[in-house]
Structure 1
Amino acid sequence: MAETTVITFGTFDVLHVGHVRVLNRAAELGDRLVVGVSSDALNLAKKGRNPVFSQQERLEIVANLKVVDTVFVEESLELKREYVEQHAADILVMGDDWAGKFDFLNDICKVVYLPRTPSISTTALIEHIATTRS
């Protein structure tokens, strides 16, 4: 039987339990988990701020999680099809905040949207840390 490859994407800045849970749930859907970590430039374009941890640091953190088999740098949201094809992914996993946005890839892989962990967000964590440090 062929191995099932799951691919997902994220910034993974200030790693928290929500990240761990979504990666664990994604990993349960297949045999191999490939993770695209947003580049610093892509994060700035998406969120209007630089990540706390550099691209290289975030790659290293994610690569060292036991459920992750491969990491790579995601340079552009518009390259999802190419990333899925390059990594021969059978399943694309995204957070449900992206629901419907990647359905156009159903012709090459199964697209699954997982619910986010309630009341946890990197932005909120960063803001909380900033306010408690002053």
Structure 2
Amino acid sequence: MSRTVITFGTFDVFHVGHLRVIERAAALGDRLVVGVSADELNLRKKGREPVFSQGERLAIVAALKAVDEVFVEESLELKRDYIQKYAADVLVMGDDWKGRFDEFGDICEVVYLTRTPAISTTALIEKISATS
């Protein structure tokens, strides 16, 4: 029986930390579905627009060999709907969200992966801004 894994992220200024979480998520099942945060969601969540547009971020994530399907995540409140729509057996999130999605344990396994140390999109953006 195949296992579908679902994960979510903004994936802005794509870096090796993003790649590692996607590869590790993919290793937990047979099919990986990735929700990429909509531009509007990112603005609400982080208080800034992404550097790369929603379309560009979708294209980058979709091009990865570990990813089977991508979609736009419109709202954090729709996580349960997305899990059910894609028939996910496993929800994977970074450990910076630890405990926030335990409520979905009734419909799938919830796994929190350790983030790659010393890599942060926000820190990268700040570093790039400071040098320009």
**Range class of TM-score, shorter chain:** over 0.9
2:88 alignment counterpart:
89
Letter in 1 for 2:19: V
User: Which residue number in structure 1 is paired with residue 116 of structure 2?
Assistant: 117
Which sections of structure 1, spanning at least 5 residues, go unmatched?
none
CA distances 1:43-72 after superposition (whole Å, capped 9, x unpaired) = 000000000000011000000001000000
Paired residue secondary structure (1:66): coil
Measure the CA separation in 1 of the matches of 2:99 and 2:18. Answer: 21
For 2:66, the equivalent position in structure 1 comes to: 67
Q: Secondary structure at the match of 2:117?
A: coil
Q: Distance in 2 between matches of 1:33 and 1:131?
A: 36
Partner residue, 1:11: 10
- CA shift, 1:24, in A, is 0.5
> Where in structure 2 are there 5+ consecutive unaligned residues?
none
**How many angstroms apart in 2 are the aligned matches of 1:45 and 1:118?**
26
Instruction: Give the CA deviation at 1:132.
Output: 1.2
Superposed CA offset, 1:4-54 (max 9, x none) = 000000000000000000001000000000000000000000000000000
Letter paired with 1:48: G
The aligned length equals 132
Amino acid at match of 2:122: T
Equivalent residue for 1:36? 35
Which residue pairs with 2:131 in the alignment?
A: 132
Deviations 1:115-134 (A, max 9, x none): 0011101010001011112x
Q: Percent identity?
A: 73
Question: Residues of 2 paired with 1:99 and 1:126: CA distance?
Answer: 24
User: CA RMSD for the aligned pairs?
Assistant: 0.4
Q: Runs in 1 of length 4+ with deviation above 6 angstroms?
A: none
Q: Deviations over 1:65-111 (max 9, x none)?
A: 01000000000000000000000000000000100110000000000
